[in-house]
Amino acid sequence: MNICIVTEYFPQSKDLEIKGGVEVCAFNEASELSKYNNITVITSKETDKDDFYIDDIHIICCGSKRGYTQKGSFIKRLDFMYQAYKKLLTLDDIDMIIGYNFITYPVAWKASRKLDTKIAARYHDVWIGRWIDTIGITGIFGEVMERYFLRQDVDLILPVSDYTKDNLKKYVDERKLKTVHNIVDFPIVKSDPYDAPTISCVARLVEYKRVEDLIRAVAIIKDTIPNIQCKIIGTGPQDSYLKDLTQKLELTGNIEFLGFVEKHDDVMCVVNSSDVFVLPSIVEGFGIVIVEALSLRTPFVAAEIPPVVEASGRKGGLFYEPKNYKQLAECILKLLSDKELYNKLQDEGYIQSKNYSKKAIGLKLNEIFNNL
């Protein structure tokens, strides 16, 4: 088939420059689907290139040149949507269009109606009613886009978890919903453990990721383990606030902000070298980085939210009450002090991670699209 994927951002190479879970999902699925189909990707213009190839995948860049962002950039996002729609209408013999996020769902749907082709949406989370509380006043745009899209006659919606599927049932005919978990491209990395007890975290620095809870937890842990280290990978609008909080709590010698780390393997080396991986986020569609940590035999501590519980199968880590940084600190201390528990979580987590292989998920997606 000739399949077109529409995603706001897409990696520039097989190095898989880290953006977020949606972009990792789009890249992995495009790579697998390209084994059976002709894949074109419509995405934002991040460099001076108008188009390029990654293996057999043709990536076409649209709109004004702009960097990666998760909020704001309203005018440029509208421009991208319009330019992506126009570009889609120029493509020949497209059998299916797949949207990968809230910005691209309506674009994919509009173009599919014009081209009389099938439309599918890869759905990570339902944000209706939470947009403004989560990202502020600019969330109005997302609220409108999501409600608009879910009222349309879409051929198929593919939630990444049963949790997301259950939330979609309020708005979409269940017969059009099929859960397909995210592919996890298991990293093969070799790195030595850090000298001091170390926690790692990979997250966009936005409020709902709750990185501040991790920083406050480190302040508590430091009373028991003075040389505790925490490495935070990610950028975002809370960058200055979190660094100021670190300084206020006198943790500048314990917490290191690594910022944007371009290569995925380099990110995974940090996770692999750490003793514990922490995901304090209260909003996730799936929690792919948790599964990556499990595959590296790095036990996790995470806020107990349904998508992450589902992804982990409650294997390989400990959960705490969301936003409760005191419980978070207790869980980390428990892992660092109980060697028997630590080893048990390493083994069971590694086994759990194998449920998300590229081949298994790729074949499932291809079968679903062929049937449609």
- Percent of the chain at pLDDT above 90? 74
pLDDT above 80 for 125: yes
Query: What is the pLDDT confidence band of residue 135, given thresholds at 50, 70 and 90?
Result: confident
pLDDT at residue 18 in the model: 57
User: How high is the pLDDT of residue 335?
Assistant: 97
Whether the predicted pLDDT of 69 surpasses 80 = no
Instruction: Give the Cα separation of 353 and 363 in Å (integer).
Output: 18
Which token pair is 213? 């809870």
Binned at pLDDT 50, 70 and 90, residue 251 comes out as very high
Q: What is the pLDDT of residue 352?
A: 92
Buried b (16+ CB within 10 A) or exposed e, 285-314: bbbbbbbbbbbbebbbbbbebebbbbbbee
More confident residue, 291 or 18: 291
Task: Quickly tell me which residue has 């630590």 as its tokens.
Answer: 342
Confidence band for 142, pLDDT divided at 50, 70 and 90: confident
2-183+357-371 and 198-355 share one fold: yes
Helices (H), the chain: 21-33, 74-90, 105-115, 131-135, 139-150, 162-168, 211-221, 239-248, 264-273, 288-295, 306-312, 325-337, 339-353, 358-371
Mean local confidence (pLDDT), 245-271: 94
Whole-number average pLDDT of the chain: 92
CB distance 308 to 284 below 8 Å = yes
Q: Identify the band that residue 285 occupies on the pLDDT scale cut at 50, 70 and 90.
A: confident
Cβ-based neighbours of 293, under 8 Å, separated by 6 or more: 271, 277, 299, 300, 316, 317, 349
- pLDDT score, position 323: 97
Across the range 148-152, mean pLDDT stands at 93
Tell me the CATH number for domain 198-355: 3.40.50.2000
- Domain ranges across the chain: 2-183+357-371, 198-355
Is the pLDDT at 176 greater than 90, yes or no? Answer: yes
pLDDT band at 33 (very low <50, low <70, confident <90, very high): very high
286 and 124 Cβ atoms separated by less than 8 Å: yes
Average pLDDT over residues 47-57: 94
Query: What is the distance between the alpha carbons of residues 113 and 122, in angstroms, rounded to a whole number?
Result: 18
Per-residue confidence (pLDDT) for residue 19, from 0 to 100:
63
Instruction: Collapse the DSSP code of 150 into the 3-class scheme (helix H, G, I; strand E, B; otherwise coil) and give the result.
Output: helix
Amino acid sitting at position 91: L
Percentage above 70 pLDDT, the chain: 98
- Segment 257-282 mean pLDDT: 94
Given a cut of 80, whether residue 247 has pLDDT beyond it is: yes
What are 318-363's pLDDT values in tens digits? 999 999 999 999 999 999 999 999 999 999 999 999 888 888 889 9
Looking at domain 2-183+357-371, its CATH class is: alpha beta
